A and B are shown apart, each in its own frame.
Chain A
Amino acid sequence: MPDLVLLVNGAQKRVKAAEDEPLLWVLRNKLGLTGTKYGCGEGQCGACTVLLDGRATRSCLTPAGAAVGAKVTTVEGLEQQGKMSHVQSAFLEAGAFQCGYCTSGMVMAATALLAEHPHPSDEQIVEAMNGNVCRCGTYPRILAAIRLAAAPTVSESPAVEEGATYVHG
């Protein structure tokens, strides 16, 4: 088995892995980066999304060998000096998760989207995020989180409005 040298979250990593082993398994099992999730292994759910040179990429379908020479960013690489990225903060503020299993992939896909379109239209958000499944169905909050992350300042951010509460009795 060859040694592959990967550039992951800014650090060079030497791993023993077959060229065709999915990047997902290398990240999770050989580099201990379990924030990237297995959801389907077929590129259909987005749970394994990482950034390859800034582009949202399905790590389950990416052979490790193909990632050599690229900058790989996983969810663990988003925090700077222990401070969450604005996308992570927005997901947390919007409460845009239930079980949270899709969240890493959602955060990575949204990070790539906002890097390309800092102020995306709803259509652009849907196009970029439609490949990411949230089986708990938190899409309205995910949409709200991305709008929040795209807003220049918190005060200008749109309110997360899901409904009213009536108190009886």
Chain B
Amino acid sequence: MFTDEITAEAALHEVRDRIRMFELDRREFLRLCSGGLLVVAGSGAAGALAQESGRSSGGHQLPQEASAWIHISADTDVTVFTGKVEIGQNIRTSLAQSVAEELRAPFSLITMVMGDTDLVPWDAGTFGSQSTPRMGPQLRTMARTAREMLVEAAAERWKTDATTLIADEGRVTNPATSESLRYGEITRGQKLTRTITGDPPLTPATKWKIAGTPAPKVNGQQFVTGKHTYPSDVVRPGMLFGKVVRPAGYNATLASADTSMAEKIPGVRVVRDGDFIGVVADDVWAAEQAVLKVDAKWKVPAQISNAELFAALKKGAGDSGQSEIAAALAGADVKLEQTYTVAYIAHAPLEPRAAVAEWADGKLTVWTGTQRPFGVKEDLAKAFRLPAAQVRVIMPDMGSGYGGKHTGECAVEAARLAKAAGKPVKLIWTREEEFTWAYFRPAGVIEIRSGVQHDGTLVAWEHHNYNSGPSGAGTPYKVANPVTQYHEWADAPLAQGSYRGLAATANHFARETHMDELAHRVAMDPLEFRLKNLEDLRLRAVFTAAAESFGWEKEKSTATRGFGIAGGTEKGGYTAACAEVEIDTDKKVRVRRLVQAWESGAVVNPDGLRNQIMGAMVQALGGALFESIQFAGGKVTNAHFAEYRVPRLQDTPQIEVVLIDRKDLPSAGAGETGIVAVAPAVGNAIFAATGVRLRDLPMEQGIEIASGK
């Protein structure tokens, strides 16, 4: 009976805070799971990954180093436990499809329990487009093993040969006798446990019936009815609301603080600990008033502004020195050396950082939005000097991240306030806090030196990235002895971190703009020039597919309409985009149409994938055209949506996504690389119409971008 309760409760994953199971640790959970079938990924191919993960897992209490597990109850409810989290990328749905496929069970029976550090195995986090290529095969392997165990158990019961039995639709059937049992009936409440060894063959994508089909988001109705509980929606009994007094600038130290006016507000308590000043109140409005009444004086050291950024960056990150491709360049008919820049930009997830922290019997539980629940757990354990077993982080499916929610500041702050208050505390960062105290996609300078022959043959290539990052910096084009270097900058003025696609956006912008410049120098069609220097068949295929759908051959740029193309590959995803821009009578630019081809191996969920790629294209327009963090004196000076322009409906062009489904290739992740081709395609289109070459993101620095349709 315990097993059924667990599964029922797991099915209520979104509202788990209301149910009893909460307090169980994993050892207890495993004991309760003793009825039914449990498969643990522990060795073989899946285990190798598990061990890699387990090295820094802080001594958790699993039977072996496990990376995931599947449980099947007496009612044939299937519960999958994984440390991956759902942040809008739709992995909850696509992983469930993969499990249903290998288990031969109806999709509706699968429940994914994700990102709760007391219930799921350790996981490094949800980033790097790794959930589909790594967690996908692990779960499929476990599901396949579970299916085999069920068939074997049924064969034993029926005293027949397992190879004559059929597993389908959550049942094992004996065609010879028409005997048939649901999966849950086979285990009859007995404990069946297996830790995977070896590397069982998985169902090829060409034979998929559930994976590979356009499944709608599993809990979609929860979102359109407002019923889904996001981290910022979590409520605990007796909960207070917190606010934190923010320094007047980065690297500031507190000179003095008078909190007496704040303390006079009824129901408000001030929490002070060194330079940390916070308030708690039973009413968020009172807390907001109180934090404004704290009179804090800060010493803010002198810091550079964004106007000085690139000079400081080049100086700080060093010089690439003499060209390492001098000999190759000397033999080139045409030489080109150009510099490109990208600004700091913000993730601006619509749900800002939020956390609810609760201390009970020395144990700390925090509900928070993060891509790294176990990372935040470590942050909390360190901050409060707690053993790992006394910290639990729960991550309800959150209001997105885009690489921006890897760290645990908000969780630590909420826990600090809750500890002082002796009651659970909710802390939601304001939009201004999110824009200021989160981290940013690094700004960067990219220098490219290249040489090309009159016939379009690329003969020299040197790519230097200063500060923005090495991701996607290597050229996919055929050229002898290319040089690619990343130059770190230790003194970056803003907190820098992960972002959707990392530096691949910057590096692709620079490279694909540069390739376009070279094509024009040798008077070749930009697509033809690329294909002439491209051997990678998968990349060629997306270029060709995008161009074909777009009508690249027939579209000829004029002074009022420009067409551009760009593409690349990163993290196992291949993409190419064609852009059409319109230049109006006021010389303002509008992006009218984008066609992007995408290939990442076998498609697990075409509907979810299409949505991801489309969203990445829209988000890419922001960084391409107008997003840029402005800062001076240790402060962000445009920390509001009114001043930091993000793409809106009026900015959305006609968008077409062309999916190439390579059922013969393993599925790669698709959350990130869809963002890399839009900026250069748009920039190249603008050049084709206007002759203005834009080498700095956002492009509004060099040309006026229209508002409104």
Q: How far is the CA of A168 from the CA of B665 in the complex (A)?
A: 10
B578 CB → nearest A CB, Å: 12
CB contacts (< 8 Å) of B663 on chain A: these are 167-169
B224–A84 touching, CB < 8 Å: yes
Q: Across the interface, do B223 and A135 meet the contact criterion of CB distance under 8 Å?
A: no
| Nearest opposing residue in chain A for B664, CB measure | A169
Complex Cα gap A91–B224 (Å): 7
Determine if B66 is an interface residue (Cβ-Cβ < 8 Å).
no
Number of A-B pairs, beta carbon distance below 8 Å: 210
Closest to A26 in B: B285
Which residues of A101-131 are within 8 A (CB) of B? 101-104, 107, 122-123, 125-126, 129-131
Is the beta-carbon distance between A21 and B285 smaller than 8 angstroms?
yes
Interface membership of chain A positions 72-101, coded 1 if the CB is closer than 8 angstroms to chain B and 0 otherwise: 001110110000100011011001011111
Give 1 or 0 for each of B636-668: 1 = CB within 8 Å of chain A CB: 000011100011111010011111111111000
Of all chain A residues, the one with the shortest Cβ separation from B643 is A44
* Interface: B611 (CB within 8 A): yes
A101 to B233, CA, bound (A): 11
Contacts of A45 in B (CB 8 A): 350, 431, 641
Whole-angstrom CA separation of A152 from B146 in the bound complex:
48
Is B670 in the interface zone, CB < 8 Å from A?
no
Contact indicator A29/B640 (Cβ below 8 Å): no
Cα separation A18 to B286 with both chains bound (whole Å): 9
The CA-CA distance from A78 to B520 in the complex, in Å, is: 56
Contact at B284–A39, with CB atoms within 8 Å?
no
> In the complex, which range does the number of interface residues on chain A fall in?
35 or more
Contact present for B641 and A133 (CB under 8 Å): yes
In the complex, the answer to whether B350 meets A39 with C-beta atoms within 8 Å is: yes
Q: With an 8 A cutoff between CB atoms, is B545 at the interface?
A: yes
A4 to B233, CA, bound (A): 23
The reply to whether B398 and A137 contact each other, CB–CB distance below 8 Å, is no
Q: Specify which chain B residues have a CB less than 8 angstroms from the CB of A17 in the assembled complex.
A: 285
- B628 interfacial by beta-carbon distance below 8 Å: no
Q: B617 — which chain A residues lie within 8 A by C-beta?
A: 137
Whether A76 pairs with B226 at a CB distance below 8 angstroms is yes
Q: Are the CB atoms of A34 and B640 closer together than 8 Å?
A: no
A159 at the interface (CB under 8 A from B): no
Take A34-B233, A137-B616 as given contacts and tell me if A163 and B549 are in contact as well, using a CB distance cutoff of 8 Å: yes
| B610 contact from A78, A107, A131, A162, Cβ within 8 A | A162
* Chain B residues near A165 (CB-CB < 8 A): 603, 606, 658-661
> Is B225 close to A, CB under 8 A?
yes
B352 CB contacts on chain A under 8 angstroms: 38-39
Q: A41-B431, A138-B615, A169-B664 are contacts. A84–B225 as well, Cβ < 8 Å? A: yes
CB <8 Å contact, B648 and A103:
no
Contact among A28, A138, A163 with B657 in the assembled complex (CB-CB below 8 Å): A163
Could you tell me if B658 and A126 are in contact, using CB atoms closer than 8 angstroms? Answer: no
Whether the Cβ atoms of B285 and A22 lie closer than 8 Å is yes
6 A-B pairs closest in CB distance = A35-B226, A137-B618, A99-B88, A101-B399, A100-B223, A169-B664
Question: Can you list 8 contacts pairing A with B, beta carbon distance less than 8 Å?
Answer: A38-B232, A39-B351, A98-B612, A99-B397, A99-B398, A101-B350, A162-B657, A164-B658
Chain B interface (Cβ < 8 Å from any Cβ of A): 87-90, 216-217, 220-230, 232-233, 235, 241, 283-285, 348-352, 397-400, 402, 428, 430-431, 541, 545, 549, 595, 603, 606-607, 610-612, 614-619, 640-642, 646-650, 652, 655-665, 709
Could you tell me which A residues sit within 8 Å of B by CB distance? 17-18, 21-22, 25, 28-29, 32-42, 44-45, 47, 74-76, 78-79, 84, 88-89, 91-92, 95, 97-104, 107, 122-123, 125-126, 129-143, 162-169
Q: Assuming A97-B220, A141-B611, A164-B658, what are 8 further A-B pairs, CB within 8 angstroms?
A: A40-B640, A98-B89, A99-B349, A103-B226, A136-B619, A139-B649, A169-B664, A169-B665
